[in-house]
Structure 1
Amino acid sequence: MNHIAYELQIGMSLATAESLLKDLLNKDSSLHGKTGGYFEKQREMLNNDDVLVEEFREVTAKKVHDGEVSYRKTLLGGCTNIDICSCSILGEFADCLTSQCAVIKSENIDNLIKSTEIELKSYDKQSVEYLSTKSELEDLIRYKKHNVERKAEHV
């Protein structure tokens, strides 16, 4: 029975690593956030042939298997925290903008801004929901201007 659990664990580790690598190697998306910046540098090294894809894949799979790295999809992109983050539990995605474990995709920021603008219109302007949603929208817009747009200007 232990061998089945081990194979399942290995399979989950490989699936997690593959998901992370798929996001990392996707050239259509720019990555932001603390961990996203790290992965963006790794992508650049891969593109410059400073690191072999197979070698990077093996190292990443080993880190996932050893519990050093995890990866879960989030509204903003992904989370590399080994434990579940409080921001993902509470749904307060703006907290993830400055989180150490965040991998933020530029297109997800744009999509979230649009959907949050639509959501904001459904609340009474005096309600707690409106004020909270407006604050999150302002955080997203500020993040986009400061990180995504500024990065695009330097490319």
Structure 2
Amino acid sequence: MSLYYAKGSSYALDLINNDKYHFANEYQATQPISQSLAYIANTLLSKEKLFGIHGTQIEKQKKESIISEDDRANTISQFKKGEISYQETFLGGCTTTTPCQHRAMRSITACLNCDKSIIKKSKLERVIKAQTSMLKNLDPTSLEYRTERSDLKTLKNVLVNIQKKSSIS
């Protein structure tokens, strides 16, 4: 719901009643700039190799030297136009410009195959550690345990694939 109002829903605009000094106006005006700077810092300028579908595209552009310092203004412009968005996630980042349909339906593993995902190995390892710890507190006979164990297995499989890709490059 907060995304709905933050993106400037016509109903939300009625709530602030065209008050040009209302905080929401400042928030909406600076949000694309804030997102673009986070995107640039966490992806384009990241020293850590990126995975996931969108992350792999960024890595390819980095290798081909398509990304340059001049692109910063263009990237910020794309964020202002709503062509791209960025939100940091447990696994790295998400670039969807629409409300996520995956997270509400599934666990964190839904991000792994999303075309808007950016996966960082360090964050994946942190999630695996937290998931392993959480699993110890669940009843092994419960459905929740089996579901979370399945998610942990999926996360570990992705980590193994990332490690294989990292050793090749």
Q: Please give the per-residue CA displacement for 1:65-110, whole angstroms capped at 9, x wherever unaligned.
A: 1111000011111110112213334561101100011011110111
Give 2:94's aligned residue: 79
Gaps of 5+ in 2: 1-17
* 1:59 partner amino acid: N
Give 1:61's aligned residue: 76
Give 2:63's aligned residue: 44
Q: Percent identity?
A: 27
Aligned residues: 149
Give 2:167's aligned residue: 153
Please tell me whether the aligned partners of residues 74 and 88 of structure 1 are also in contact (alpha carbons under 8 angstroms): no
Q: Would the alpha carbon gap of residues 44 and 90 (structure 1) be closer, same or farther in structure 2, given more than 3 Å must change?
A: same
What is the Cα-based RMSD across aligned positions, in Å?
2.1
SS at match of 1:87: coil
Please tell me whether the aligned partners of residues 76 and 104 of structure 1 are also in contact (alpha carbons under 8 angstroms): yes
CA distance, structure 2, for counterparts of residue 22 and residue 92 of structure 1: 27
SS at match of 1:134: helix
Give 2:11's aligned residue: none
SS at match of 1:86: coil
- Higher helix residue share: 1
CA distance, structure 2, for counterparts of residue 107 and residue 44 of structure 1: 21
Greater relative contact order (CA < 8 Å, ≥ 6 in sequence): 1
1:89-100 matched pairs, under 5 angstroms: 89=104, 92-100=107-115
Gaps of 5+ in 1: none
CA distance, structure 1, for counterparts of residue 115 and residue 68 of structure 2: 26
Give 1:17's aligned residue: 36
Q: Calculate the TM-score normalised by the size of structure 2.
A: 0.79
Q: Would the alpha carbon gap of residues 51 and 72 (structure 1) be closer, same or farther in structure 2, given more than 3 Å must change?
A: closer
Shift of 1:58: 1.2
Give 1:104's aligned residue: 119
Shift of 1:153: 1.1
Q: Calculate the TM-score normalised by the size of structure 1.
A: 0.86
